[in-house]
Structure 1
């Protein structure tokens, strides 16, 4: 497995349009196609592809500035949002590998950032467990989201 992270570019749109999420996954995340559309009109959103040999296996958005405000007071934090793994690639360790690679990627591409924050639904036990295994910390902060209560987690980028 040779996973690497790369900023989205339109040359990947045909693959993104084939990205598959189950109804269960869509309870907790948005589709990459929709989030790329939103990102095109928001300069603070950076769609990120997780690739294995040029195949998109996972996807997320890094959101700066106002996007982080509901989740952190840290002016040097970035929000990880819309994280998912294509259903066809689930269970192979791609999500874990991408999260372990994330601090290095953030440090290289956003050198001013000192923390990655995320919000995960309290009902999404599998994702919570994954985030904890990959260095995110639950410091007890909770907020209400559109689909229920969210746990705020953070990972310091050193």
Structure 2
């Protein structure tokens, strides 16, 4: 398994990215790729919403978006994170999430707190998030999704 790379959606890759699809039992957990792109255009939550593709060995294996307020310390949200059903079960989800955290740290140095939401009945995703250090106070958003956070300031200050 190669290193996961992150690239923005572009004219060159959007058609391949649109083919990303999760399994039937997972479709209620994440927005479709088309919905993610609509969110990027509409920016329903924050000032900025950037969609990205996840690549392994040059092949798009997943997508996510980052919704945020530029230069804020605590308003950065990972959304739409999904690995294509053909690439699941290979460790890509865990590796991709590690890369996403590093990506946010590098691209948005002001960010101290990274957040995401997860459906209560998605134990596989919850396991991955908790394994990588995301924590929850069991608070929910307006859609009854549980909010998880990752403290970048605490984690990365320990390594300096």
- Does TM, normalized by the shorter one, top 0.5? yes
Give 1:25 deviation, angstroms: 1.6
Give, in whole Å, the separation in 2 of the partners of 1:143 and 1:38: 17
CA contact 1:16–1:33 (8 Å) conserved in 2: no
CA deviations 1:18-70 (Å, max 9, x no partner) are 212222221110111221133134361111211102211121111013xxxxx
Alignment TM-score, normalising by the size of structure 2: 0.83
Please report how far the alpha carbon of residue 13 of structure 1 lies from its aligned counterpart in structure 2 after TM superposition.
1.2
* 2:38 counterpart SS class: helix
- Say whether 1:80 aligns with 2:95: no
Shift of 1:140: 2.5
Kindly state the Cα deviation for residue 134 of structure 1 after the two structures are TM-superposed: 1.4
Residue 17 of structure 1: CA displacement?
2.3
Q: How far is the alpha carbon of 1:144 from its aligned partner?
A: 4.1
The verdict on how the C-alpha distance between 1:40 and 1:10 changes in structure 2, with shifts beyond 3 A counting, is farther
Residue 3 of structure 1 contacts residue 98 of structure 1 at CA under 8 Å; is this kept in 2?
yes
Structure 2's unaligned 5+ residue stretches are none
Task: Say if 2:5 and 2:54, in contact at 8 Å, map to a contact too.
Answer: yes
The 5 A counterparts of 1:134-145 are 134-145=132-143
Following the alignment from structure 1 to structure 2, what is the Cα–Cα distance between the partners of residues 20 and 150? 21
Q: Secondary structure at the match of 2:141?
A: strand
- Structure 1 residue runs of 4 or more that deviate by more than 4 Å after TM superposition: none
Residue 4 of structure 1 aligns to a residue in which SS?
Answer: strand
The structure with the greater share of residues assigned to strand is 1
In structure 1, what is the Cα distance between the partners aligned to 2:125 and 2:101? Answer: 18
Match of 1:150 in 2: 145
Q: Is the 8 A contact 2:17 2:63 kept in 1?
A: no
- 1:133 equivalent to 2:131? Answer yes
